[in-house]
Amino acid sequence: MPIAQLAGTDPAEEKSKTFVFHDEGHTMGNALRYVISSYDDVEFCGYTVPHPAESKMHLRIQMRNGRAIDALRRALKDLVKLCDHTIETFNEQLISFQTDQLST
């Protein structure tokens, strides 16, 4: 998942950034937007897919405190944890269901 940053009006400003994710779309954009928006230090987070023919997604993060890149890094780690938890829970429930089916 290659990521680039769009140039801003003030390159020294770290609180507001737009990141471009290549080969990503609404699935990743909405998941990251949801996670990042839950952080107290985030003022705004949103994403766009500029055009259906282009395989990229823009993610905008504006912080009250801290750096936008740090919020993105944190969100990517939190999203991995969330996905791992979902897979583990699904597998546990699948095994439980299969065990119940065999005992009936």
Query: Of the given ranges (1-10, 27-36, 50-59, 88-97), which has the lowest mean pLDDT?
Result: 1-10
Distance, CA of 81 to chain centre = 12
What homologous superfamily is domain 3-78 in, according to CATH? RNA polymerase, RBP11-like subunit (3.30.1360.10)
The per-residue pLDDT for range 43-97, each reduced to its tens digit, is 999 999 999 888 899 999 999 999 999 999 999 999 999 999 999 999 999 999 9
Find, among 37, 26, 23, the residue nearest to 75 by Cα: 37
Distance, CA of 59 to chain centre = 9
| CA atoms of 59 and 29, how far apart (whole Å) | 7
